[in-house]
Structure 1
C-alpha cells in the first residue's frame, strides 16, 4: 500500500538540518524529566543552572555558540542528559567533554565493561584506553605487565618522570620522553581543562629532566617511527612493540585506543 507524502509529513531534503546547540537545548528543555515532568521554561532552566535568562535565550536562539565547560556541565546535569547526550552537548558547543564526563566513562559499569571487553580481546598484545590528556582510563594485563605502575599512576607523563621503573622498561627512555613531552605540548595548546594542565606542569616542573625537555620547546604530532623497544622487568628480555592508535567507539567520551602489537 502506497502512502501519500502528507500522511506522515515527510521532510524534504531542504528541511533536513544538521544538529545545532540551540535546537538541542530547546528540545531537551521541553522534554519531560524526573524533576520536571512537564519540561522546563527558559526561566526555570536559567534559575536551575545559575545562568541569566538572557544568556539561556542567546543559547537557544543560536547567538551563543560556544558556552564554556561550567555552563555545559550545569545544563547537562539539570537536563538529566545521559553520557552520550552530554558528550553531544559538548561537541555541539565545539568543546571537549569535561573531566566529569571522563570520570563517567572510567567508573560507569556498562561503559567500563565495554572498554574492558575490547582491551582483553586484544591479548596478548598491549592495549589501553587513554584520554586526550594522556590519562590511562583502562588497560589489559599485558599493558600493565609491560609498563608496570603506569595504570596505577594514571598519567603517562607523571609515570615517565616520577616512576623509576619507566627508565628500566623503556630501552630508549630519552627518545620516548622527548616525544611524549612534545606531544603533550601540542595537546596543551588547546587543552580544555587549564587548571588540571597547570597543576600537572607545576608538579612535573620539579623534575629536572622534564624541565630540560620542556625547555626545548619541541612540538610533536604523532609518531614518525611506530616501533619502540621495551625490556621485560622480570626476565630482562628486550622486545619491540609496534604502536597503533585509533579513536575508540565504546560508550562515553572520546578517547584513544592504544594498541602495542608484539612481534612474531
Structure 2
C-alpha cells in the first residue's frame, strides 16, 4: 500500500465534485469552506458506515474490497488509468477487470494516424475485437482489401480465414480460442464475445477444441503461417500492445515474411543493460 499516493489521488478527486450535484447543500455561515464532497457525504452516497471512506483515504483499510473501490472510483469519475493506480495504491495490485464494462470500446482518434505511419501490417481492435483502425498494408492481406469488421469472429468462424490462416485447425484455432475464453472471464457482459462463443460451441471443428480448454497464450512475439492475398504464402511475427486508456483493446503489428519459413534463431528478448556499480 502507498498511503501517501492513495490519499493524494482520492482527496484530489473528491474535492473536484460539487456536493450540490448529489443533492447536498453547501455549508452556510462563517468559517472555512471545504472543497468538494466531505468524507461523510461519500459514506452516505456509497451507503457505508460512518468513517468507512476516511479509513480508505487515510490508508487505514488494508486490502479494501474491490467492489468498494469500484464504487468510490465511479463516484469520483476516475478513468481507467486512475482506476489501476487506485487499486495499486490501495495494496490489492492490478484490478480484476475494467472500471466500466464499456471501457475498451473506444481509443483516441490519433491511433489511426499512428497505424498509418507504420510500414508493417497494423490494426487496432477494441475489447470485443471490432476493428477500429487499420493501415493499407493490412488491407492488402485480404482479397479486395475487405477488412473483417471483427477479427475474432473472422479468425474463428469465417470460412475464408481457414484458408488465409494456414494450418488453421492445428496452429491458429487452438491459440485463438484461449484468448476468447480469457476475454469472457473479464468482460462477462460483452454481448459480442458471448455471441461468438455461442457460435464456436456450435461449430463442429471448434466445439471440441473449446471444450478441451487450453491455456491463454498471448500472441505477442509468436510466429504463424499465413496466406497473403497478394504475396502468397509466408508467415507473420506478431507484436501486440494495449492502449493505456482502453483495457482489452489492442494494437497488433504483423511482420510479414514471404515464402517458406526458414529455420532461424529466435530473436532474444530486449532488456536494458545493467548499469555498472558506482
**Bin for the TM-score computed over the shorter chain:** 0.5 to 0.7
The equivalent residue for 2:40 is 43
Deviations 1:36-72 (A, max 9, x none): 6921123322444x4424554553332353413x862
User: What's the offset of the Cα at 1:260?
Assistant: 0.4
Structure 1 match to 2:159: 164
Higher helix share: 1
Give me the TM-score of the superposition, normalised by structure 1: 0.67
Please give the residue correspondences for 1:173-192 in structure 2 after superposition, counting only pairs within 5 Å: 173-174=168-169, 175-185=171-181, 187=182, 191-192=185-186
Query: Aligned partners of 1:62, 1:23: CA distance in 2, in Å?
Result: 16
Give 3-state SS (helix, strand or coil) of 1:262's partner. strand
Tell me if the contact between 1:42 and 1:53 (Cα under 8 Å) persists in the aligned partners.
no
Aligned partner of 2:215 in structure 1 is 219
Conservation of the 8 A alpha-carbon contact between 2:200 and 2:210: no
Q: Deviations over 1:168-219 (max 9, x none)?
A: 321222121112124444x369x33334366653343222222111123332
CA contact (8 A) 1:127 1:259 kept: yes
Q: Give the distance between the partners of 1:19 and 1:138, measured in 2 at CA.
A: 39
How do residues 37-186 of structure 1 correspond to structure 2 at under 5 angstroms? 38-48=35-45, 50-53=46-49, 56-57=53-54, 59-60=56-57, 61-68=60-67, 72=70, 74-82=71-79, 84-89=81-86, 92=89, 94-95=94-95, 96-97=97-98, 98-103=100-105, 105-106=106-107, 111-113=108-110, 115-123=111-119, 125-130=120-125, 136-146=131-141, 151-153=148-150, 156=152, 158-174=153-169, 175-185=171-181
Q: Which runs of 5+ in 1 are unaligned?
A: 1-16
TM-score, scaled to structure 2: 0.64
2:256 paired residue number:
262
CA distance in structure 2 between the aligned counterparts of 1:91 and 1:101, rounded to whole angstroms: 19
Aligned alpha-carbon RMSD (Å): 3.7
- Correspondence for 1:206 among 202, 205, 229: 202
Count of residues in correspondence between the two structures: 231
CA shift in 2, pair 1:38/1:119, >3 Å: same
Match for 1:238 among 225, 229, 233? Answer: 233
Cα distance in structure 2, aligned partners of 1:83 and 1:46: 23
Residue 122 of structure 1: how far off its partner (Å): 0.9
Match of 1:7 in 2: none
- Which protein shows a greater Rg? 2
Displacement of 1:18 in angstroms is 6.9
Asked if the contact 1:242–1:261 (Cα under 8 Å) also holds between the matched residues in 2, the reply is yes
Q: 2:29 corresponds to which residue?
A: none
